[in-house]
Amino acid sequence: MDVHTTVADFQAARRRRSGSLGLVPTMGYLHRGHLALVRLAREENDLLAVSIFVNPAQFGPSEDYEAYPRDMDRDLDLLRRERVDYVFAPGVEEMYPPGHDTWIDPGDLGTRLEGAHRPGHFRGVATVVAKLFNVVAPDRAYFGQKDGQQVAVVRRMVSHLGMGVDIVAVPTVREEDGLALSSRNVYLTPEQREAAPAVFRALLAAERLWSRGERDGDVLRGAVRIVLEETPLIEAVDYVSVAGTPGLAELDRVTGPAMVSVAVRMGRARLIDNLVLDPASLPGSH
């Protein structure tokens, strides 16, 4: 496994080998969710690259950039076991050299949901992903559906800018009790960890209603809120959304594919999760 910290070294190594290339962009502190992406990318490509970069541009001034969990040695050991070909692990100045002042504006899609609560977040995401695509030049890139809005932002950027990268969304990996895997779950206290699966139960409440024929967006959002508000350790609900895909505009009525998503705060942790409502999955739809 080749580990590179500079653009020049990575690109020189890549030129020495031919074949299709898959990329899994990460911020490190890898868990089973990341490894699901890695394993699928390993199956679907001749070569596999994983990037590890905690991107300061997607963190707000009061967010957890400095505290974000990091363990490079452990990450590299996990990736060796998965037969990864390349790891690209640049420093901040390699990705954002002095004087860097070029950014990608993701448009209205980047101002909704997470974007409304984390101003500038998706500008940072879109910019770093574009830079990684330029450096790595993958044929396919793999993202977890847990960050559903991120997937939508990246897909739209790739389409609008003609980047020619196939974006593969991989289903959310969960603990046995339903909690979506996240590097930030380490912030949960034992009591909060016990309560955290309520987030997934809230999404399932909306999905059950929808599967029985409910199409009113407010009713579906209300079903999510009821479960969240019954969970005492949830200190704040940032949003509950039932939005059409891929644009993620809120829906009065659900008449096609949609995403139910939430963001809540529990102590130091901010948990996000989503479920996709796909009419094609309903009985009798085929």
Tell me which residues are annotated as active site.
Answer: 34
Say how far apart CA 268 and CA 83 lie, in whole Å: 35
Count of helix runs (H) and strand runs (E) in the chain: 10, 9
Burial 157-192 (b: 16+ CB within 10 A, else e): bbeeeebebebbbbebbbeeebbbbbbbbebbeeeb
Q: Can you give the length of the chain in residues? A: 286
For residue 97, whether the previous peptide bond is cis, meaning omega lies within 30 degrees of 0, is: no
Say how far apart CA 112 and CA 109 lie, in whole Å: 6
DSSP for 65-128 reads TTTS---HHHHHHHHHHTT-SEEE---HHHHS-TT-------GGGGGSTHHHHSTTHHHHHHHH
| Secondary structure E strands in the chain | 2-4, 21-26, 47-52, 86-88, 140-144, 166-170, 236-244, 258-266, 269-277
* Type of residue found at 252: D
* Type of residue found at 16: R
Say how far apart CA 57 and CA 175 lie, in whole Å: 29
